Amino acid sequence: MLPNIPVAPLQPLRLPWLNTIQAAILRLDLIDPLLSGNKWFKLRHHLQQASQARAPGLISLGGNHSNHLHALAAAGKRLGFATAGLLRGHPQDTPTVRDLQALGMALHWLGYGGYRARHEAGFWEPWQARYPGWHCIPEGGGGVAGAAGCALIVEQARSQLAALGWRGYDGWWLAAGTGTTLAGLVLAEAGAHVVHGALAVPLDHGVPQTVAELAGLHGYQLHDACRGGFGKFDDELLAFIELSERQSGVPFEALYTGKALMALREQVEAGAFAPGTRLIFLHTGGLQGRRGYL
């Protein structure tokens, strides 16, 4: 059985620069206090696979502010799986790491070199020996299973259009890290509406390849939104987030959602969208991570 996920509210998004187009925001940040954002959707099929295989636990990897490990630890605790996390770098004490420990996740720090080896053949072997039968999840919850879980995001939005007074919509706008969530939306839309991905990582980090492998070459557009690199923030971005939060009443963080919103403003101001275009901005969550850096 696929775990149920509460319906994320679809709300009007009001910002002064969104004056020529109509925007709504699907608040994945509000679905659950612990298990929030796109990571819960990306984990859905992995959790189902682990349960079908009667795996005693789930193991995955990430950084010390990782929204993915945070969601995995919370899901494991709630659904009764043990969890283990392989972390980049050396032991650090961040709010996220403290939560992982409190949620019962076993943590292993791989250093930087050890973490870089994560794509090499044989990387998982020692961990599979140490945790026999455990379900291994690629970084960020990626892959086919991760993308498949995101189809539910499209269903959730469509079920609320009428309540918003919209008869339809023209496209999606969301932040992309690995591109898995974006690919999931593209697959679910099957060409019905364009999906705009705002890249929170540099273009050479493999997002175009990931999306192409999972969802083909059509039905989406990629936009640079990384502002010099993943996890880099400048004063202009932080001021923009603060102002946008005040104007819209919606909280954003600086790694993904803030950068995606800023890239949307650039495109709107450049006239990329015809007047009256209706866009759904996907709030992918990630607010737990900002305790560590904002």
The footprint of ligand PLP (CB under 6 A) covers 37-39, 67, 140, 175-182, 256-257, 284-286
Q: How far is the CB of 180 from ligand PLP (least distance, A)?
A: 4
Q: How far is the CB of 205 from ligand PLP (least distance, A)?
A: 10
Q: How far is the CB of 167 from ligand PLP (least distance, A)?
A: 29
Of 85, 77, 73, 81, the closest CA to residue 50 belongs to 81
Phi, psi of 180 (to 5 degrees): -70, -45
- Nearer to ligand PLP by Cβ, of 219 and 286: the residue is 286
Provide Rg for the chain, Cα atoms: 19
Q: How far is the CB of 20 from ligand PLP (least distance, A)?
A: 26
- Nearer to ligand PLP by Cβ, of 76 and 184: the residue is 184
Number of residues in the chain: 294
- Nearer to ligand PLP by Cβ, of 11 and 180: the residue is 180
Q: How far is the CB of 244 from ligand PLP (least distance, A)?
A: 15
**Alpha helices per DSSP H over the chain:** 38-52, 67-79, 95-102, 111-116, 125-130, 143-149, 151-158, 161-164, 180-189, 207-215, 235-248, 257-269
- Nearer to ligand PLP by Cβ, of 166 and 237: the residue is 237
- Nearer to ligand PLP by Cβ, of 67 and 96: the residue is 67
Distance, CA of 217 to CA of 167 (rounded, Å): 28
Contact 150, 43 (CB under 8 A): no
